[in-house]
Amino acid sequence: MELIVARNRADLVKARGEGRLALVPTMGALHEGHRSLIRSARAAAAQVVVSIFVNPLQFGPNEDFSRYPRTFDADLDTCRAEGVDVVFAPSVEEMYDPARQVSVAAGRMGAIVEGESRPGHFDGMLTVVLKLFNLVQPDVAYFGQKDAQQLALIRRMVADLDVPVEVVGGATVREPDGLALSSRNRYLSPDQREAALALSRALRAGASQTGPAGIRAAALAVLQEAPIDLDYLALVEPGTFEEVPDSYTGPAILAVAARVGTTRLIDNIPMGNVGT
């Protein structure tokens, strides 16, 4: 089957086929992390739609919207190789009416941890995800655990607003040395890439400990040694992203964000049962 590229709503309606439809939303610059989500989608659905849209609403005024990598032709090759049926790649004008007013409010979970560093980011992200759900009308949508707070917020939105889409998370794909794949990794110089390894190393050091205090201390010890600008290290409850107390027992996510040069990177590791 030929890959269909839909640039607008009308193309998308024409491209829709029969059977279970899976959506994989992306901002393009596709890598193995995206590919693993696409493969899961391909295995589970009759039709796979990949959206490629760099969403201006989720970038702050001093963030990298204009210089975010755009590799559309290579992305189409990737989608062809993975047997994708439709790429939905709308323009900003196609997605956003200049008179638009209504958007999704992420609530408290959108304002803490990553949301504290990026005000408005999660409102913009949820708004575009809900629009993509409404436009594509998937049965199921795939998101990476790499963006753990995003995934938790999408699950929250689907539950709170009764959105009829099944949400599936995919494990974080890493380089052999531990670096989580990210479209932003291409900004890193060789030295910066080396420094960036401190994030995954810190998460592993934390995850080797048992209680919350030990987990945080072990991870911080690694981060403080590295030539990076730490934004946050947080050990949070997976459903709410609230920081857990030292007395906590149960599942948690250890999450980190840091600037390496001018590139901001995030990573996290889910922990099945801390404190016991």
Determine the length of the chain. Answer: 276
Burial class (CB in 10 A: 0-12, 13-18, 19+), 230: middle
In whole angstroms, how far apart are CA 250 and each of 120, 150, 215, 217, 255? Answer: 30, 21, 13, 18, 16
34 catalytic per annotation: yes
CA distance 42 to 92: 27
- Assess 37 for contact with ligand AMP (CB under 6 A): yes
Q: Is 231 in the site for ligand AMP (CB under 6 A)?
A: no
Q: Which is nearer to ligand AMP, 182 or 263 (CB)?
A: 182
User: 90 or 144, CB closer to ligand AMP?
Assistant: 144
Q: How far is the CB of 188 from ligand AMP (least distance, A)?
A: 14
Q: Check residue 183 for interaction with ligand AMP (CB under 6 A).
A: yes
Give the residue among 14, 16, 72, 77 at the shortest CA–CA distance from 48.
Answer: 16
Assigned token pair, 46: 């009759």
Binding mask 40-79 for ligand AMP (x = CB under 6 A): ----------------------------------------
Does the footprint of ligand AMP cover residue 147 (CB under 6 A)? Answer: yes
Candidate residues 27, 76, 244, 265; the one interacting with ligand AMP per rule CB under 6 A: 27
One-character DSSP codes across 211-239 = SHHHHHHHHHHHHHHSSSEEEEEEEE-TT
Tokens of 59: 């970038």
Work out which of 109, 173, 260, 271 binds ligand AMP, going by CB under 6 A. 173
* Catalytic residue from among 12, 21, 25, 34: 34
Q: Which residues bind ligand AMP (CB under 6 A)?
A: 26-27, 33-34, 36-37, 143-144, 146-147, 170, 172-173, 180-183
Known catalytic residues?
34
